[in-house]
């Protein structure tokens, strides 16, 4: 392998690791566990899981509802 092959592969591995910690984490927070697990082998599914709305009762849904409630209370107080 040439030196530029090593650079390209290294960049792809770093991009995969970055997506693993960001997009995959968001997918799991939104309650999309199947997309998160299958996304390890097909990373495009992580993007789909991150774009889809959160399932009711998921950590992401609860956090956004609490944030909206606190904002509403600050406006009315």
Residue 76 has a pLDDT of: 85
Q: Average pLDDT in the 62-77 region?
A: 91
Residue 1 has a pLDDT of: 77
Confidence (pTM): 0.79
**Mean pLDDT across the chain:** 92
Q: How long, in residues, is the chain?
A: 77
Within 10 Å of residue 24's Cβ, how many Cβ atoms? Answer: 22
Band of the pLDDT at 39, cuts 50, 70, 90? Answer: very high
| Count of structural domains, the chain | 1
pLDDT at 31 over 80: yes
Query: Tokens 């998160």 appear where?
Result: 36
């Amino acid at each position: 392998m040439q030196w530029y092959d090593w650079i390209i592969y290294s960049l792809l591995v770093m991009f995969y690791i970055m997506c693993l910690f960001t997009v995959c984490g968001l997918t799991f927070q939104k309650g999309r566990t199947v997309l998160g697990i299958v996304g390890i082998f097909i990373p495009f599914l992580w993007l789909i899981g991150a774009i889809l709305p959160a399932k009711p009762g998921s950590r992401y849904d609860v956090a956004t509802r609490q944030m909206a409630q606190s904002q509403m209370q600050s406006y009315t107080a």
